[in-house]
Every structure is written in structure tokens, then in C-alpha cells.
Structure 1
């Protein structure tokens, strides 16, 4: 159902003139034919086609199929007789012309494909027989205008529906993104068949008169099954999701495209939040950067460096800024709509323009850079974004001085909290296709992305289409929806350290020719702003740098829409909105135990976030946001003990859930909070020595009283205090269970019946140990901690209004439909 309701919140003109269209003249006489011979040829052709069509219809999978039974016929018509194409359609018989392919070089025949319902199978047979045997009143063969112009007829194949250049037709076994053009009012039919065949469809559609266009991930065999089991498909094209068009433009043409886009850009409000990019500086004079970046908001760690971007770093900062402001520029360049910027940019140059910083100083450099931006505009809401990483001194997730500095900056002494987005880091050196994704699982996330409080972005990719002729025969390494070939993971980290990455965003793909190491070709990358606009306006960009910039862009979108939310809540919404792609879900489904699930979680995090899901609910998919605080510890004599647990009684739509009975529903819970770091330990033999505290959540079970619920929580907390890893309640139809409890953000999904969910009306948030408790001498035990709790109820496919029921219990005004 449509997402058009904000998440619920608990606080704790032209002049007319006459016009007559010119009449179209007749296209001339049909080609001269030997009547009997031509009719005989076409009768044989259509007879063969119909025999094959009936054979295929007999094998149609009725458990999968949807829509009217029928088949496709392909007609060949001389190019000079193209006017006859329209005559192939007959609406009273529900015969529809669906696809026309113009002649390729050296050919002189048009290919026209027609959908024919089974009930109208003899339509063209009768037309041909009448041409053979009957005359008009003027003595000409009946139906001559059409039949004489037909050169041949055959049963259509998949390629008959493909209207792109045939050189782009995917190889037989190769998965590709297809543009599927659907016949009018058949989107639902197509989706039903695709779901039954487990075919991946992208969520968004483009609607035109008579056609809906969807993107489908499939190989040729799967597309054949889709065509054979539905009447929905009109034509097929390859999805052109590549930026090569813009990158191959000459400098003058790039200027024209950039200027056209700049005309459509509306600058952000003076009160808009910002993405502060900590990198190599930014070229503010770029026509697409200038609307979002005030010169006063450019800073440098060392003032002698200047604030502009650096050739030493290949303009990385300006590339980051372009994505942080616009996302992938390809979409904006290809469109014609106004671009209303909801956030602005800030730039802090933390990389020396002439050499590399000492990685051990990056924590201080980062802190100074952040302070400069905040001093300039102290009341501005912002998200910090940094894709600078180091592979020096990695230790399977153990904190570094840099990562601890990031945690401290996020925590802000418990007073001034910050949202910081980091890149997970990239594989270095040659990438070998045969080693994917094993090499990624063995390449650990780089510093400072082991920070607990930051939002860490890895990279996945949907970019698999290679159209540039220079790369004919090359293949993309990563399948659509899977991990980008350069993205690092926390697969080899010790078990007590956070899940990294938290989420993944588009980071582009690599291609290989079967012999040499993989290359980052333009077709498989994002497009962004070039740091030397006097040379060129656009550049390619990818990897986890692009992913981090996209994560910051989305985070700023949340802040712009809900500026009152805490940084912890914004981070929580990003993770809460994330979903595993079908490719990722397939890997999870293949996991046979918690260890294998954890390996997938450490590769993909919680999946791919979505701004719509992060901000808006639907009637049957309602999200409740809670911001609250608790005192985790108390002093008892000389000992520090755990103190408070918060029990949240949820405004549950109990009656609506009970009415759904056994229908499958989902409950998703995300808990986000910041910890105060203590990086002074070495060895990390005890898991409670780095974070100040930890929080966990548990959900009341359907057959559990509140007292039994409290008892279960207490036992789980006691087990964690004793050092048992992941003792918080799992199982009970939770997708992840106890493996969710790493770091300072936890998210999980429960699946079951609506009736069972109706009784799960309470969530407990409780503390477990940390150094605030373990080190009483530091006198932190009396500090309050705050958290964001996000709870979503989803009844996919059900026509049920859960949202209003919850809103009524909260006494919140419900938006009009």
C-alpha cells in the first residue's frame, strides 16, 4: 500500500487556436503477388506457427500462469510496406500489436509481433483463406491490403519482443536487468507470475499511456517462462543503467548538460541541514556544487592548504560532494524535473594537498575538522561524512585511536551527539574475479570503521549492464543485488565486535575480460562532479566512497524531513529501512546455522536502506518511533549494579491483527544508542571494557505474562553479565536472534501469524554491563543513557489499516488519504 503517512512518534495556461490535421494519403498499391502461391506459403507458415503455439500452450504451467491464454506471432513485412503493420491489430478480437523492430543494417524487413488470444487463434488463417478464395466488389483479392504485404509468419520467440539493438541481447545464461514493457492494466498480472517464479522486480515503475515499465532481473530462460505464462508483456529492452553517455561527451557538450541541470536546481534553504564532507576539499566553483556550497562553509584542517580540491587525491572530495548533494548524477542529468535541494554541503579539507597524513593523527585531524565546521555554523543540523580509511594496524575489529575518536565525537560527552557516516574501505590492488566474494570476506573493514557509534556504509551493486562496444564480451564480476567487488567486510573479526558494514549502498561494479584483473569501466560506475570543471564537468565514482556519500545523502534527507530527531534515531531509521536484496536474501536462506548467518550479516549488514521506508508508513506497514532514556546502573555500597529497564507498552492494533487470524505478518524492531568509548585496554580479553554500557531489547511473547516476560529478561541480562555472548532472547521466529547483539545498534525481524503478534504488545529495553560498571573509579555509573526504539508492524498484501488504529490509541491526528 502507498507510503503516504509520516511515521508515528512517541516521546518517551495557452491561448486556443483552430487546427485541422492534414489527411494522410494512401501508402500506394500492395506489392504484386502470385495470389495462390503467396496464400499457400502463408498458410503453411501460420499452420506451423499455430501447431507450435498449441503445443506450448499445452505445457503452460497453470500453477504459475496468470492472464488470458494466448501466444505471440511474428510477422515480417517489407520496410516499404510499413503502413500495413497497424492492420495486424484487431481490438474486437483482443489481438494487439505489441512490438515492432525496424530493419537492421543490410536488411529490408520489419518484424512486427502481435499477441493473439487462444480464442482468436484462427483470425489470420481466415484472413489468408479469404485472400486466396474471395474477391471484393472491385474484383481484387479480399484482404489484399494486408495479406499481400506480409512476407512471412512465425511463432514469436523471446527475441521477437526485444526492441533494442540485438547486440545488447543478453547471453543465454547471463543474468541481466531487462526493461519489461507491460500491456495496459496488466501490472498486477505480471507481478503475480514474477512472484511465483521468484523473479526479482524493482519496486519503482514508469507509467505511460498503454504501458507500464518495470525492471526485471532474469536470464533468457526465465524471461521465456515469464512470456509463456502471462499475457502481460508487450516488449523487452535492456535496462540502460550506465553513465557512459555523459562521460563520453566532449567538454562543450558536458557544459551544456551541466548548465541545463543547474537551471533546474533550486538551492537549499538557509535553514537546511548539511552534509559535511571530510576529505580532500571541494571545488566550490563547479556549476553543480555552487548551489549547495557556500564559500563560507569551506574549511581546512591546516589553513595553509587552502580549501579547494587537490589533484594529489584526484579530486576525491569533489566527487564525494557531488554524490552527497545529488546522489548518482545520472538520474538528475537524464531527467527534466526540478531538483529541490533539501540539504546543503559543508567541506572540510583533512587531507594534505601534497602528501599523506600519518594515519595515527587522523583522529585529531578529524576532530579539528569537525570543530571548524561547527564553530562556523553552531546551530545547523548536519551529518558528517568521511570516506578516508587506513589499512594500517588492523586488528580483527579491535578499536584504534582513530575509531575511538569517532566514537567519542558521536557520543559528544553525552551532551552534543553527532551522526558520522564512514566508508567500510575497499580492497586494494588487483581484483581477481575468481576470488569474489571470498576475498571480500577475508578483507577486513578498515580503520576507523570499527567505531561503534558511526553509521558504516559498505557497497553493493545493481550495475551489471555493459553497453560500450570497447568492452564487448566483458562481464561484470558481482551479480545484481550482491556485494560490490571492492567492498570490505567484518567476516574475520572477533565475535564481540560490531557488525560492519551496518548497511550497503550502490558502489558500482567491476568488469573483466576473462584474462586480466578486473577494471572499473564507466558503464558500471556512478557519475558525479569533476574537480576541474574547466577540463570536464563529470567524473566516474564508485566503491565504498560512493556508498558512504549516498548514506550521508539519505541521512540528510531524514534530518531535513524530521529535524527534531536525535542522531541516534536517524541512524536507527537508516538501518530500520534497510532490506536485503533477493541476492542477499538467497545467501541468508542458504545459511544452515547462526555462524553462517553471522557471516552473511558481516558481509551485507542489514541490507540496502530506502528513504521512503525511513520516513513514511503505509496503512498496512506502520512504524512507531520512540525516543527515551534510562539509568543503566546504580551504586550499591562499593559495587555498581544494573538499575533500570524500560518496558514499552505498545499501542497495538490488537483487533485488526486478530481479524487477520493466521495471515503472515512481520514485526521489526531496531534499537539504536551511542556508547562512550574507552580504548585504553589492550588485548580485549573482556568484552565489557570498550563500551560504557550496552542495551538490549526483548519482545513479549504471545503466551507470556508481563511477569514471565520480566523474569526472562532478567535471566538474559544475568547471562550476559556472566560473559555469555549473545544471551539476549532470540529464537522464537526471529530471523537473527542473538547474533543481532553486537555493537550499539541492533535490528531484527519476527515473522508469524497476525493472531500471535496481537499479544506481543510490549518491548523491554534493558542494560548489560560496560566499563561504566566495571570501573567504578571513573565515576560514570550515575549517567543516564538515551536510545531510539523503532517498531514496525507489516502485513504485506493485506488490505488492513494498522496505522490508523495505532494513531487513534496515541491520540494523533491521522492524515487525510
Structure 2
């Protein structure tokens, strides 16, 4: 089912299509775990009492010897507990948030030998809390009554606090290393100063500042604030950090600061002045309020004849007011922003240079320089820099729709998918607690250094996506290639290394990530190819295999070439701006959803599924290559319906947070046409796109402290059940749960388990037309998140947005669109 160039019908955009109803998930059977480890009660209690007594004594000594000029905040100390890995889900029970002096879990870290470490802050007033818990475990029983089958009552006795105390292996006083959640082998040696990301407990920044001033730590200007953490950058030795830990209540977690962006260059020019002048004369300007691609990069070259028509002087800015806004650096990143500018405006310039007619670009350019022209790139909080840079563009044009392009990354092997301060800030920026949601395209990152032909494409799967592209809400962009022809005689005998339709040899993937993290990249765009030198077996840049774009030194030449995931990301942001130019009122969630919904795997990608498996297929290519035509238009036999909706995921009930609403989307399927098609194969594609609010910090093993504010899922009605049965299967508020289905729901490409990771869920169902005719309802329902688990943050009862996109595709000749459109009441159609 190839994509068609002409798609004459607009998609059908629905308003208020989701009918919101009460949602309470059915109770599962079983307790979900095997209980605490079996212990000799007296021996275990005595061992823990001895360990905790020593911890308390050491803590008292530290408190008695606090350095007056360093000490600040609530007096107390940190305890590091060791638990079996199987008991990691009970770490929340280490906390005691009640009362004036709460005990807080600050981080959870995996250890060797099947163990986890959990560190808590214990105020001095609570120093005996755990000793009392252990004493009660040793000396007291809890009693419950159990009714036997014969109706008699049996007393069931077990030690008090058994789940908590029996789960603890031992305890010790926490030291600086107890807060380190980065790669273990990179922890600095004693006396070695390093830049650190210091994650502070919320509200303790004054205490940290007092200690940092006394210890003469180098603290950088920027900070990031999240729901329960504030992140700062500071330079210190491990010993100095140990003194901060000992004398304040501020530290929750420490990581090495490595947000020093790397860039993906290797670009050579093609001097074509006459072409540039000809194209400049054919350009059709757009309005000042047209949507824009907002480039966060090295600046751009305002004087370039192909950039100036679409970039106002007011929209060319720099993060630092003292910097030049031009793309003028002599460092390695110099020129990158101008290259991205040309790609974001025109795509591959070769496609518009060869022609005689006018060239209409319906979106503008905004450029915010986020990289200095001079000086070393010390680690910094690029999350703060990114946020402030976006704010600069928004202040100039607050009502302009924009697609933000970030083609800069920092090395990210150490993340393996878990959030960083930078990626979490991107999630916060896109979520928009300031009531402004944002669409952002971010590069997956490139494999640097020498490319060896024999390693392709295996090496792509072992080189993980870089920071901050693990952000959940952004559109993470990888690169594929269709460029395989080399005509330059200087490269006679060379061939293209990447296969047509397959991954670009430098593009990174999430194949090596931990399985719980989102499927990334989301999509892939053209990123050029690498030439293969048969004499050496290595790969190298070849202009024939790259994209033509704008060059910053216009006096030398107007054009250069570009590629890799930088170019792919500029193309993705360009597509986002093109969608907004057509429908400027669409939500950013919808723009992201339409791009992903329009994507398809190439034949080369599909051919690899058998060898690498479905998860690796998604983690290498995302959902494939997007199409602007498919994102914007429908056909008679290929109809897309788009709904932008809201629901309230959680509410308070009987003093606790529970799920609140689900939404039922009745789908206006072309029933008569589908039934007439009989057993012909049809395709249904569903995409659910929403943004989460992040709550970062290395406490991901704890349910209370999950990263995402909430989750949403979708479920499709089966052909052989009525709507009321479908509802009862999902929520107990609709009635008694129907019998479990015996037949599996086959036909899905991705499947409900794999597609549920992250905040973007897409899947394809294929089956008979007669079956699809009756699969005419989708439920969107909430799952847990930190909004529900951490009630004190006050987000229970808040509504969340989502976009639901569904497409039916049949063979050409089927008249689906007219029947769907006829069922739609005119006033419910969004004229976005």
C-alpha cells in the first residue's frame, strides 16, 4: 500500500468525540508478590539493631561536630539501606512523611549481587524511628482474623512491620558515594575536583548555598526545578561533597555533569553561486505570523540570500545577550546552525534549485544561539539554557505556532534511556505547566569517529541514543537513507555503505536501552549516507550521498552539504511547521502524533524484522519514515480521523487517590462499505499521543516516585462484543466484569505490551473488513503515575490532554471517505 502523492481529502477532525465516564480498574487476583524474605526473627532483629545503633551513634557524632559555617538546614543524617533486588518495590515503606519531621527517600540505586541501595534522610528528632520499627518486629505480633472454609475463624499472627524489616539486609551511615547514581567506574578519585550535577531535595537550596559558599564550591548560575528536586551544577572534590552531605539536609542525588554538546559535521561544500541567486529570485515570502521552525543551535547567517527572506532581525537571538547572533564561531560547531537553517526551510536544496517556477515556503525561521563562539564548553545545565532560549523566541512572537529544532546532543552512553536533567527539562517544557505546550524535534545523536563497513548495521544497535533525546514528550529523530548513487569520479570504485531504505550508518538507536524506557527514535528522516572505500573497508563522507544546504561563509560559497541525525531533525521540525502552516490551531501533541501516524517502514526495514525481532525493529527505526502527504490528507480508500480530547485521570476517594475517568470514542466507521468488502484485508492504524509531566530523580524503583505524572492507554472493541460488554471488561463502574476472553486479540503489529512504553503509543491492526466493521469503539483510560502516588504535590483532579488518531486503509477503489464524512455532524468537526 504505497503512499500516493495526491491526497485530495482533508482529514476528519472531531471535537468532543470522547464520552467521559467513571473508571475503576477491576481488581486483579493475587497480591502481586511473594512476600518478604524468610528470616530468623530474633537473629535478624538483633543484627539490624546492632547496625542501626551504630548508624545512630555515628550520626550523633556528626551532629555534635557540625562545622558552624557549613551546617545548614534541618539537623539530621542519611542512612543507606541494603535490600534484596526482589524487594525493591517496598522502598516507599522506608519513608515516613507524616508529622513535622518527615523521613524522605532520596535515591534508589541498583547494586551488584542482586541488591539495591536505598538512601533516606532522617531528621535528628526521628533518629530512633527504625530502631523502634525493628523492636516491634522482634517483640510484637499483628493479628488478623481469617475465615476458614467451614466458617470458623482462625487467628493469623505475624511479626509487626514484617514486610519492611524482613526486607532490609543491613544499614549504614550514608556517605557521598551513597548519592552517586552515574557510571560507577567514573567516580572521581579522592582529591580530584569534578563538575557534578547535584540533585537537591526541594526547598533545601538555601542550605546547600550556605555550605557551597563556605566550602568555596564553584556553583554555576543555572538551575532546574522539578516537582521534588532542584538541580544545580557545582565543581568540587568527593570530600567536599561528603561535607555537604554531613552538614546539610540538601543532597538527594549526585551525577557527573557531562552536558557538553557534541555535533555531527563532516561537511564539504559545493560552490553554486548562480543557483543561489536564481533561487533567491524565485522565493515567495510568507507572513510574519506564519509558523516557524525555532532553531536552537550555533546561530545562523542572516545575510544569506536564501535565509534572509524568512528570518526577521528580531527573531535572530542569542541565549547570552553579550554574544553575536550570527553563526560566527571558529569552534567545531561553527556553521552548524546555518546548515540547519537551509534544511529547515527547504529540505534538500537540490529539490528546489532545479526549477523555473516560484518556490513557496509557508513557514518562517527563528534562530536562538545556545552555544558560545569562544571559550571552553564547561558542563552546564543545558536544560535551563534550552528553556530560557525558547522563552526568548516566544517573547518576541508569543502567538506564533512553532516547531522547535534541537540538533545538539551530549554523550549519553551512561543513560541507557533513563532521564537526565536535560531530558527531563525538555519533558517539562513540552508538557507546559505554564499553559503553553510545545512541539520539539530532537536528534537521536550520531556515532562519531571511524565508520567500519563490516560493523554496519550491527554497530548502530550497540551505540545508544544520546542525551537529551531520551525525553518522553519530544519527537526523537533518527536517520535513514535512500541515497546510494555516487557519480563523483574522485570516488570511482566506492559504493554506498548504507543500504537503500535502511538505517544511516551513523544513526544511534535504543536497542541497548533497558526495556522499560520508551521506544526511540520515534521516526527516521533522510540523513544521507556514507561512502565505502573498498581499499580500506572504512566509510567516509561523500557529497553525492549528502543533502545540499546553506553555508555560512557566503563570500566563499553559498552551499555546503549536511547529513546525519542533525539534518534528519531539521527535516522533522520542517514537517512540523508545514503541518502547522496548514492547521495552525493543532495541539503539539497532535502534530507529533500526525508525524508518527504518517510513518511507514520501508521494505528494507521490514525485511530485517525476522532477524532482529519486533522490539529491535522499533528501537532501530521507530515507526518508520513519515510522509507529509499522509500527515495532512486522506483518500477515498484511506481515511484518517483525528480527535483532540481531555480527561481527568485521578480523583480523591476515601482519603486516597484513585483513577477517575476514561473516554469512549465511538468511531464513525463506513460499516456498509466494510461489510461489502467481506473478507478482503484492511488496515486500522491507531496513534495515541500525550505529554507527561516529569518527576526525575533516581527513585524509579519506587512506585511513589515514578517518572511520569500519568499514563494513558487505548483499547479497541472486539468485533464479537457489544459496547456495554466492552466497557464492563475495562471498568468495574460499568457493571460486573464479563468472563475472560479465551481467544487472543491477533492482528496487531506491535501489540499492547510493547506499544505501551513512553507517552506515544502507535499500533497497526490488520484483518478482514467484516471484522473491522464491528470494531467501532476505542477506549482511552489512565494508568498510574506520580500524580496519583504522591498526593501531596496536589495534582489529583487535574485534566490532561491527548490526541487520538485512527486511520482505515483498504485497497484502492474502496469508497470509505464519503461514508465516514456523511456520518459526521458538521458542528463537531474542528476547522483547525
Q: TM-score range by the shorter chain?
A: 0.5 to 0.7
Partner of 2:454: 434
2:632 corresponds in structure 1 to 615
Q: Compared with structure 1, are the counterparts of its residues 526 and 490 closer, same or farther at alpha carbon in structure 2 (3 Å cutoff)?
A: same
SS of 1:426 mapped into structure 2: coil
Partner of 1:792: 807
Does structure 2 retain, via aligned residues, the 8 Å contact 1:511–1:520? yes
Q: List aligned pairs for 1:457-496, cutoff 5 A.
A: 457-496=477-516
Correspondence for 1:303 among 310, 321, 328: 321
Q: Within 2, Cα distance between the matches of 1:711 and 1:428?
A: 53
Aligned counterpart, 1:3:
7
Aligned to 2:175: none
- 1:688 deviation in Å? 6.8
Matched, 1:712 2:729: yes
SS at match of 2:278: helix
Instruction: Answer whether contact 1:383 1:556 (CA < 8 A) is retained.
Output: yes
Question: Following the alignment from structure 1 to structure 2, what is the Cα–Cα distance between the partners of residues 688 and 653?
Answer: 45
Contact 2:299-2:326 at 8 Å conserved across structures: yes
SS at match of 2:317: strand
Secondary structure at the residue paired with 1:354? Answer: coil
Paired positions, count: 563
SS at match of 1:645: strand
What do the CA deviations read for 1:352-378 (whole angstroms, capped 9, x no partner)?
A: 112453444111110110010001111
Matched, 1:737 2:751: yes
1:755 aligns with 2:770: yes
Q: Quick one: distance in 2 between partners of 1:331 and 1:775? A: 52
2:523, 2:625 within 8 Å by CA — same for their partners in 1?
A: yes
- 2:288 corresponds, among 245, 255, 270, to 270
Q: Which residue of 2 aligns with 1:802?
A: 816
The separation in 2 between residues aligned to 1:519 and 1:299, in whole angstroms, is 35
Task: Give me the whole-angstrom Cα distance separating, in 1, the residues matched to 2:347 and 2:592.
Answer: 18
* 1: CA distance, partners of 2:704 / 2:713: 15
In structure 2, how many angstroms separate the alpha carbons of the residues matched to 1:687 and 1:578? 36
2:437 corresponds in structure 1 to: 417
Q: 2:584 aligns with which of 552, 563, 578?
A: 563
Greater mean alpha carbon deviation, residues 333-342 or residues 648-657? 333-342
Which whole-Å CA distance do the structure 1 matches of 2:434 and 2:801 have between them?
A: 9
**Cα gap change, 1:771/1:265 in structure 2, threshold over 3 Å: closer, same or farther?**
same
Contact 2:270 2:559 in 1 (8 A): no
Please say if residues 730 and 736 of structure 1, whose CA atoms lie closer than 8 Å, have aligned partners that are also in contact: no
- Picking from 351, 361, 369, the partner of 1:349 is 369
- 1:690 maps to 707
Distance 1:409 1:422, change over 3 A: same
Selected match of 1:575 from 591, 596, 605: 596
Q: In structure 1, what is the Cα distance between the partners aligned to 2:508 and 2:460?
A: 5
Residues 304 and 710 (structure 1), Cα distance of their counterparts in 2 relative to 1, 3 Å cut: same
Aligned to 1:215: none
Q: Distance in 1 between matches of 2:447 and 2:669?
A: 46
* Aligned residue in 2 for 1:649: 666
Gaps of 5+ in 2: 17-266, 735-740
3-state secondary structure, aligned to 2:807: strand
What is the CA-CA distance between 1:271 and the residue it aligns to? 2.2
Q: CA deviation at 1:430?
A: 1.0
Q: Match for residue 391 of structure 1? A: 411
Deviation at 1:812, TM superposition (A): 4.1
Preserved CA contact (<8 Å) 1:360 1:402? no
Match of 2:789 among 770, 774, 783: 774
5 Å-filtered alignment, 1:43-54, equals none
CA distance in 1 between partners of 2:458 and 2:686 (Å): 31
* Distance in 2 between residues matched to 1:508 and 1:330, nearest whole Å: 13
The equivalences for 1:78-97 within 5 A come to none
What is the distance in 2 between the residues matched to 1:306 and 1:730? 61
Q: Write out aligned runs for 1:311-326 (5 A).
A: 311-312=330-331, 313-326=333-346
Gaps of 5+ in 1: 13-245, 718-726
User: Once the two structures are superposed, what CA deviation does each residue of 1:628-678 show, in whole Å capped at 9, x if it has no partner?
Assistant: 000001111221111111000111110111011111100000000000000
**CA 1:688–1:414: 2 relative to 1, 3 Å:** farther
- Name the CA shift for 1:322/1:248 in 2 (closer, same or farther; >3 Å): closer
Q: Are 1:544 and 2:565 an aligned pair?
A: yes
Cα distance in 1 between the residues matched to 2:708 and 2:539: 40
SS of match in other structure, 1:752: strand
Contact (CA 8 Å) 1:441, 1:603: kept in 2 or not? yes
Q: What is the distance in 2 between the residues matched to 1:392 and 1:355?
A: 23
8 Å contact 1:740–1:746 — kept in the other structure?
A: yes
1:280 correspondence with 2:298: yes
Question: How many Å apart are 1:800 and its aligned residue?
Answer: 2.0
Larger radius of gyration: 1
Quick one: distance in 2 between partners of 1:574 and 1:712? 32
1:441-497 CA-partner distances (Å, limit 9, x unpaired) = 111100100100001110000001111111111121110000000000011111111
CA distance in structure 2 between the partners assigned to 1:529 and 1:686 by the alignment: 49
Partner of 2:608, secondary structure, is: helix
**How far apart are residue 414 of structure 1 and its match?**
6.4
Corresponding position of 1:533: 554
Tell me the CA shift for residue 730 of structure 1: 8.1
Which residue number in structure 1 is paired with residue 399 of structure 2? 379
How far apart, CA to CA, are the structure 1 residues paired with 2:430 and 2:683? 32
In the alignment, the residues of structure 2 paired with residue 730 and residue 590 of structure 1 have an alpha-carbon distance, to the nearest angstrom, of 25
Residues 383, 419 of structure 1: 8 Å contact kept? yes
Asked if the contact 2:292/2:400 (under 8 Å) is kept, the reply is yes
Compute the RMSD of aligned alpha carbons. Answer: 2.2
Match of 2:646 in 1: 629
Alignment of 1:640-679 (within 5 A): 640-679=657-696
What are the superposed Cα offsets for residues 605-637 of structure 1, whole Å, 9 maximum, x if unpaired? 000000000000001100000010000011112
d(CA) in 2 for partners of 1:412, 1:683: 23
> In structure 2, what is the Cα distance between the partners aligned to 1:561 and 1:264?
22
Aligned pairs (5 A) from 1:142-181: none
Query: In 1, Cα distance between the equivalents of 2:447 and 2:317?
Result: 30
- Alpha-carbon distance change, 640 to 390 in structure 1, aligned in 2, over 3 angstroms: same
Q: How does 1:10-49 map to 2 (within 5 A)?
A: 10-12=14-16
Q: 1:421 to 1:661 in 2, by over 3 A?
A: same
TM-score, normalisation: structure 2: 0.66
Q: Does the 8 Å CA contact 1:681/1:689 hold for their aligned counterparts? A: no
Q: Tell me: CA distance 1:730–1:343, structure 2 relative to 1, closer, same or farther (3 Å).
A: farther
Q: How many Å apart are 1:247 and its aligned residue?
A: 7.5
